[in-house]
């Protein structure tokens, strides 16, 4: 599915949109809504048509009163249908979302779902249009501006993505995802402004990233930096800083095996032998190398190789994290990762002490409480789980992916304790934030 920039390639649709525009301006929003909904079923990426539809939707319910109240209720019904249909038929879900917005045009949850579905359908400009409304309705929500920034980045509007990321960081300066978006969008903006790379750089790119890979402008910048750093390292083979820089750049190019090789060179120097950060990078690049092998086997359709690569990766993670935790027992991030690994492998009992140790590290305390709550819940201690999950929710109030997972698990703990009212409230809060999250729509329906 592709987006259609006005004018529409179908002259008939353009004529219909002109009629809808006239109807909306002439005081007949219901007709305009009907026409625009029909147009968007045929051309869902036509943002101009969606903009006229939005104007008509708001005009029809501008009077408020009972009409607005009934519209809100009807909109929730249509939105629940859309969430249930999203996975099997995202295009059909988009039609239902618009019906919900025709009934309730100021529903931030509907716009959020519309943006998410538009991204799934490859319609970034439509996603941008949707998330702009989310930000209008939730001006103090960093996650909304982050979603807008990501949509803008997908649409190639990097300068606007930078501004959205900056706004998210004004609201929440600690938002790591917004910081990453700001960095990536800034780089993309710079690369877009540069001239095309010269042929000699393209030849160098073939040598570094391989004949089967096409180097982007961003890659060319990294490749140029690698070449200069490797030349400098040849004259100073004990420069740990340079080796670390080269490793990081290879990792950015998607070549963790080369990154691992350069960390090995850094570790072989007297200064690097006892460097804790290098030891951790050695583990991370080794992990990424094995994960890449599993992905390549999967792409080749070799099921035996996939199984072998995954088993090798699991063993590497298990042994590597256990070793690092023994060497650096006070590192909360390592203890957290080890606990999550044990939890995901079904060893909930051994995971709990790792999360308890991670609680002493303020950087990962909220995530550790979440892990500890999950551990307690899986080992049949819902009362202890609820206590930890309540604290995790307080510490991580944002409804991002982690926040939603905390709230969902807390609701499960409440259900396990027989507290249906608390469970319903948590599931409903999730539903209000993201109707498409896991099976929350079905969970909420049970309480009505």
Asked, for residue 148, whether it belongs to a domain, the answer is no
- The predicted pLDDT at position 192 comes to 59
Question: How many other CB atoms sit within 10 Å of the CB of residue 164?
Answer: 28
For residue 227, give Cα distances in angstroms to 131, 152, 194, 303: 41, 32, 19, 37
Range list of β-strands (E), 171-321: none
For residue 2, give Cα distances in angstroms to 5, 86, 126, 173, 210: 10, 18, 10, 35, 31
Which residue among 327, 352, 372 closes a domain? 327
Q: 111 and 2: one domain?
A: yes
Q: 113 and 17: one domain?
A: yes
Q: 128 and 226: one domain?
A: no
Question: Could you say which DSSP state residue 145 is in?
Answer: H
Q: For residues 383 and 405, what is the distance between their CA atoms, to the nearest angstrom?
A: 18
pTM: predicted TM-score of the whole model, two decimal places: 0.49
The answer to whether the beta carbons of residues 24 and 52 sit under 8 Å apart is yes
Containing H/E element for 30? Answer: helix 29-42
Q: For residues 169 and 174, what is the distance between their CA atoms, to the nearest angstrom?
A: 7
Q: 128 and 230: one domain?
A: no
Asked, for residue 63, whether it belongs to a domain, the answer is yes
Which residue among 74, 109, 137 closes a domain? 137
SS3 438: coil
- The predicted pLDDT at position 72 comes to 56
Q: For residues 114 and 131, what is the distance between their CA atoms, to the nearest angstrom?
A: 8
- The predicted pLDDT at position 70 comes to 43
The tens place of each residue's pLDDT in the chain, 448 residues long, gives 445 444 344 678 888 888 888 888 888 888 989 998 888 888 888 888 888 988 888 888 765 544 444 445 666 878 888 888 888 888 888 889 988 888 888 889 999 999 999 988 888 999 999 999 999 999 899 999 999 999 998 888 888 898 999 899 889 888 888 888 888 887 776 665 543 333 344 444 434 444 444 444 445 577 778 888 888 888 888 888 888 888 888 888 888 899 899 998 988 888 887 777 788 888 989 988 998 888 888 888 878 888 888 889 989 999 999 998 888 888 888 999 999 999 988 888 899 999 999 999 888 888 899 999 999 999 999 999 999 999 999 888 888 888 899 999 999 999 999 999 999 999 998 988 888 888 888 888 887 7
| Residue carrying the six token digits 């590597």 | 320
Quick one: tokens of 381?
């201690």
Domain limits for position 87 = 1-137
Asked, for residue 196, whether it belongs to a domain, the answer is no
Using only C-alpha atoms, the chain has a radius of gyration, in whole angstroms, of 26
For residue 378, give Cα distances in angstroms to 28, 354, 383, 409: 57, 15, 12, 11
How many structural domains are present in the chain?
2
Residue 150 dihedral angles phi and psi, to the nearest 5°: -65, -40
Q: 225 and 127: one domain?
A: no
Q: For residues 159 and 156, what is the distance between their CA atoms, to the nearest angstrom?
A: 9
Asked, for residue 410, whether it belongs to a domain, the answer is no
Q: 8 and 119: one domain?
A: yes
Asked, for residue 287, whether it belongs to a domain, the answer is yes
The answer to whether the beta carbons of residues 343 and 371 sit under 8 Å apart is yes
Question: Could you say which DSSP state residue 43 is in?
Answer: -
Quick one: tokens of 415?
């259900």
CATH number at residue 85: 1.25.40
SS3 406: helix
Q: 117 and 9: one domain?
A: yes
Asked, for residue 314, whether it belongs to a domain, the answer is yes
Contacts of 372 (CB under 8 A, 6+ apart): 339, 352, 355, 356, 359, 388
Q: 127 and 3: one domain?
A: yes
| Residue among 364, 414, 350 at smallest CA distance from 387 | 414
Rounded to 5°, the CA angle 3-5-11 comes to: 105
Q: For residues 81 and 112, what is the distance between their CA atoms, to the nearest angstrom?
A: 15
- The predicted pLDDT at position 191 comes to 60
- The predicted pLDDT at position 351 comes to 92
Asked, for residue 130, whether it belongs to a domain, the answer is yes
Contacts of 167 (CB under 8 A, 6+ apart): 145
Q: For residues 325 and 317, what is the distance between their CA atoms, to the nearest angstrom?
A: 12
Angle between helices 303-327 and 332-344 (to 10 degrees): 140
Contacts of 156 (CB under 8 A, 6+ apart): 124, 192
Asked, for residue 106, whether it belongs to a domain, the answer is yes
Quickly list DSSP for 328-394. Answer: -TT-HHHHHHHHHHHHHTT-HHHHHHHHHHHTT-GGGHHHHHHHHHHHHHHTT-HHHHHHHHHHHHH
Which residue among 137, 165, 185 closes a domain? 137
């Amino acid at each position: 599915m592709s987006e259609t920039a006005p004018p529409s390639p179908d002259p008939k649709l353009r004529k219909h949109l002109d009629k809808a525009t006239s109807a909306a301006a002439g005081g007949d929003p219901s007709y305009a809504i009907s026409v625009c909904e029909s147009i968007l079923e045929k051309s869902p990426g036509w943002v101009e048509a969606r903009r006229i539809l939005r104007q008509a939707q708001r005009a029809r319910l501008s009077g408020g009163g009972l009409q607005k109240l009934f519209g809100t209720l009807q909109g929730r019904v249509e939105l629940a249908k859309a969430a249930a249909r999203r996975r099997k038929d995202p295009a059909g879900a988009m039609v239902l979302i618009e019906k919900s917005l025709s009934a309730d045009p100021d529903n931030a949850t509907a716009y959020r779902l519309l943006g998410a579905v538009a991204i799934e359908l490859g319609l970034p400009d439509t996603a941008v249009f949707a998330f702009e409304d989310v930000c209008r309705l939730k001006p103090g929500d960093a996650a909304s501006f982050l979603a807008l920034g990501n949509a803008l980045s997908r649409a190639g509007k990097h300068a606007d993505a930078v501004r959205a990321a900056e706004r998210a960081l004004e609201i929440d300066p600690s938002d790591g995802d917004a910081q990453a978006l700001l960095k990536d969008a800034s780089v993309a903006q710079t690369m877009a402004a540069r001239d095309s790379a010269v042929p000699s750089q393209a030849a160098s790119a073939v040598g570094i990233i391989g004949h089967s890979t096409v180097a982007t402008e961003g890659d060319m910048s990294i490749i140029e930096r690698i070449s200069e750093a490797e030349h400098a390292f040849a004259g100073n083979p004990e420069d740990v800083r340079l080796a670390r820089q080269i490793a990081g750049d290879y990792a950015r190019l998607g070549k963790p095996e080369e990154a691992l090789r350069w960390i090995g060179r850094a570790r072989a120097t007297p200064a690097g032998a006892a460097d804790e950060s290098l030891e951790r990078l050695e583990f991370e690049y080794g992990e990424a190398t094995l994960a890449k092998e599993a992905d390549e086997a999967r792409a080749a359709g070799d099921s035996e190789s996939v199984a072998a690569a995954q088993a090798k990766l699991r063993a590497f993670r298990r042994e590597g994290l256990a070793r690092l935790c023994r060497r650096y027992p006070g590192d909360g991030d390592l203890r957290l990762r080890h606990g999550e690994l044990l939890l995901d492998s079904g060893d909930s009992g051994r995971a709990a002490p790792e999360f308890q140790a991670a609680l002493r590290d303020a950087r990962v305390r909220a995530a550790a409480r979440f892990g500890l709550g999950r551990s307690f819940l899986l080992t049949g201690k819902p009362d202890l789980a609820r206590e930890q999950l309540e604290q995790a929710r307080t510490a991580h109030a944002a409804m991002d992916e982690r926040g939603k997972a905390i709230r969902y698990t807390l609701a499960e703990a409440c259900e396990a304790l027989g507290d249906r009212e608390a469970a319903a409230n948590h599931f409903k809060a999730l539903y209000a934030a993201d109707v498409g999250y896991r099976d929350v729509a079905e969970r909420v329906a049970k309480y009505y």
